[in-house]
């Protein structure tokens, strides 16, 4: 079952990137969107785009690492729109560094936002959806939640946790008529790499180059993810490279790990040649 006409939606991390693109795509469906971000200024810019695009927007400042703020976000959505048809747990950050090199404080920050932020969202909104007898949760993970590469341990762990949570929720909520989709895109054009934190400059350069060379923008990903929601699909893995990597890891774990190691060496050698 697809989303209803003029769906009531909550999007976290909606101030930029994929969160903003999802809001803009939802506006084309005349959605009523609670635009949430820790940065109120960027959220207001997204809200303006929603209203210009044909939707309705209400801005809420929310730090997803604070469960009380997530509760307040849900209360606002209920008060303003009378309920929620779609929750998008999108807020996220990236950090890179080898285990032992990336500070533990950075591990905590990544897990607090990327994993606990999603846990809080599901914990708060799922019971409300049960009461209304409908709804859908879209959790934004990453291909890093399915295939794991070096120097991204904190990010990998956070996104793998989101995949596991989503799979569990899919079973728990299905009988209640609530859908769950977990999104696992690979590289697409956003500012997440530029805003990331890195244990060394080589990792920063590699991340910025990889994201910057992506041919797909967040608007394309947003459309694919909402199509997956309409289809009630559990997994949305929109890029072929992520699908092949996930398939290889399941079919031949040893070959997958050898391939990852070889690709890592190749990427570093390429950076050295570029100077």
Active site residues: 155
Is-contact 181 136, C-beta < 8 A?
yes
Q: How far, CA to CA in Å, does 83 sit from each of 9, 90, 163, 255?
A: 9, 19, 25, 47
Helix (H, G, I), strand (E, B) or coil at 275: coil
Is-contact 84 77, C-beta < 8 A?
yes
Q: How far apart are CA 143 and CA 151, in angstroms?
A: 15
Is-contact 65 42, C-beta < 8 A?
no
Q: Which helix (H) or strand (E) holds 49?
A: helix 40-52
CA distance from start to end of the chain: 52
Q: How far, CA to CA in Å, does 202 sit from each of 85, 101, 152, 208, 264?
A: 43, 13, 13, 10, 12
Helix (H, G, I), strand (E, B) or coil at 188: coil
Q: How far apart are CA 245 and CA 146, in angstroms?
A: 8
């Amino acid at each position: 079952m697809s989303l209803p006409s003029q769906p009531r939606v909550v999007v976290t991390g909606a101030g930029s990137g994929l969160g903003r693109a999802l809001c803009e795509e939802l506006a084309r469906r005349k959605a009523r969107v609670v635009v949430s971000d820790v940065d109120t200024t960027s959220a207001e810019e997204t809200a303006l785009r929603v209203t210009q695009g044909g939707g309705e927007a209400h801005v809420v400042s929310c730090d997803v690492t604070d469960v009380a703020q997530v509760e307040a976000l849900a209360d606002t959505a209920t008060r303003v729109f009378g309920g929620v048809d779609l929750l998008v747990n999108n807020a996220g950050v990236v950090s890179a560094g080898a285990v032992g090199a990336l500070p533990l404080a950075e591990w905590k920050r990544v897990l607090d936002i990327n994993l606990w932020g999603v846990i809080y969202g599901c914990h708060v909104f799922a019971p409300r959806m049960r009461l209304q007898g409908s709804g859908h949760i879209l959790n934004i993970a990453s291909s890093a939640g399915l295939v794991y590469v070096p120097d991204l341990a904190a990010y990998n762990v956070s996104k793998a946790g989101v995949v596991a949570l989503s799979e569990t929720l899919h079973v728990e909520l299905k009988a209640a008529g609530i859908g769950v989709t977990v999104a696992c895109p690979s590289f697409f054009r956003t500012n997440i790499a530029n805003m990331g934190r890195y244990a060394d400059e080589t990792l920063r350069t590699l991340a910025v180059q990889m994201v910057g060379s992506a041919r797909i923008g967040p608007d394309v990903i947003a459309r694919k993810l909402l199509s997956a929601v309409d289809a009630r699909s559990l997994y949305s893995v929109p890029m072929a490279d992520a699908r092949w990597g996930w398939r290889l890891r399941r079919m031949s774990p040893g070959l997958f790990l050898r391939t990852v190691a070889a690709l890592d060496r190749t990427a570093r050698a390429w950076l050295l040649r570029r100077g």
